[in-house]
Amino acid sequence: MHNAMSEPLLNDGLAQTTLYPLDLRVTHAKGSRLFLDNGSSVIDFISGIGASSFGHSHPEITQAIHEQVDKHLHVMVYGEMRQSAQDEAAIALLDLLPINLDSVYFVNSGAEAIDAAMKLVRRTTHRQKIIAFKGGYHGNTFGALSVSSNAERKAPFQPLVGGIELLEWNDHASLELIDEQTAGVLVETIQGDAGIRIPDSDWISKLRNRCTETGAHLILDEIQCGFGRTGKAFAFEHFQIVPDHLCLGKALGGGMPMGALVSSRKHLQQFAHSPSLGHITTFGGHPVPCAASAVASKLLKQTNWDRVEAVGKKIESTLLDCSNVIALRRKGLYIAVELGSAEQVNRVVQTCLERGVLLFYFLSTPDAFRIAPPLNINDEDLQAALSTIVDVIEARA
Ligand SMILES: Cc1ncc(COP(=O)(O)O)c(C=O)c1O
């Protein structure tokens, strides 16, 4: 996929997640820009893979972090003590959500939120079967990997968690396989790693109804597509459905590590007993990410959705004018650009980076690259990034 195998991190004692890391050396970051140790800067057109949705080093987020650091860091494992940062993060988040999602369990990452949801649906329904969908990506803990779709990525780690069935996504007949033995059905509201795949409204509302009919709980994974990425606060708002459980991460933390399982009080209190501490985590709800998250929720509420959509439309129309673009799939600023081959994608991503624009790959969709700029990217960076990408796609650079 990339040019040459190297071990730049390992040489400095850091484990590598790939043989081909970008290995950019970041000194600081602001708004849409990453500043590098060679004095140059790069436009982050992927928001740290959907995590820095309000731009890097947002002044209100960093101020809240500073203030919390001056008060206290970790004091006790999750759930034993009242910490005002947690209260504020919960209030700000729940204020954005429908009434049945009235309780939040904070964890440290998206995958942990998925594991929490998988455990909670088994715990509450006393059923075992968990259904997920082909094309889905949910993370890399054993639980989250087990409900993810990419078989190649799962094979070396078998056996994974049992009792899981992967159904055809966006397929009406598959819904019949959700039955009275099903504890929960997990789906990304809009699939990300599959290359930004938007389900039919009709399918997703039938999915919601089928879960209700059979008593299976509907879990939406909005770790990437939630928190503003698709042009509404949460992606399920596009489909007029409400899940039983909602998994969040990435942008939720405003740049800090954080995940959350949002559900109803009735369901979430099950983690408190039989067994007690049923999903205990030392650092879940850490006050510093919570302080950042409370501000991120406030920023989400204040987001100018018309501008987000205008930026999305501009990216879409500009790139669809390029002769080498085969398709562009988009909801808000959640975008996949299909070029027809992994080689072309590799050339565009590499050359854009050399020209100062950071794009990135999908794990399971090699013929497309992702775009997910900060929701508040300024016009100048937007224009600069787009003209670079167009030049590179059209091989003028
Ligand atoms: C849809 C989706 N679910 C789950 C995850 C896992 O989140 P994390 O990497 O924070 O564990 C990701 C991460 O990319 C994701 O995109």
**Burial class of residue 37 (count of CB atoms within 10 Å of its CB; 0-12, 13-18, 19+):** exposed
Give the Å distance between the CA of 293 and the centre of ligand 1.
17
| Residue 396: predicted pLDDT | 67
* Residues with pLDDT less than 70, the chain: 1-6, 396-397
- pTM value? 0.97
How far is 301 from 228, CA to CA, in rounded Å?
9
Peptide bond into 159 cis (omega under 30): yes
Q: Cα dihedral angle (314, 356, 53, 72), rounded to 10 degrees?
A: -160
* Nearest-5° Cα angle at 376, 373 to 382: 55
Ligand 1 pocket test: pick from 115, 137, 145 the residue with the most ligand atoms within 8 Å of its Cβ: 137
For residue range 8-67, list pLDDT tens digits in order. 787 788 899 998 899 899 999 999 999 999 999 999 999 999 999 999 999 999 999 999
| Residue 374: predicted pLDDT | 98
Instruction: Give the rounded percent of residues in the chain with a pLDDT score beyond 90.
Output: 94
| Residue 297: predicted pLDDT | 98
CATH 3.90.1150.10 domain position(s) in the chain? 10-58+304-393
Q: Which CATH superfamily is domain 10-58+304-393 in?
A: Aspartate Aminotransferase, domain 1 (3.90.1150.10)
Query: Residue 66: left (phi > 0), alpha (psi -120 to 50), or beta?
Result: alpha
CATH 3.40.640.10 domain position(s) in the chain? 72-301
Specify the CATH number for 72-301; select among 3.30.360.10, 3.90.1300.10, 3.40.640.10, 3.30.70.2740: 3.40.640.10
| Closest protein CA for atom 8 of ligand 1 | 110
Give the Å distance between the CA of 39 and the centre of ligand 1.
32
How far is 195 from 331, CA to CA, in rounded Å?
12
How far is 89 from 87, CA to CA, in rounded Å?
6
| Residue 397: predicted pLDDT | 55
| Residue 12: predicted pLDDT | 82
Give the Å distance between the CA of 193 and the centre of ligand 1.
10
How far is 31 from 377, CA to CA, in rounded Å?
7
Question: Which residues on neighbouring strands pair with residue 184, listed in sequence order?
Answer: 130, 217
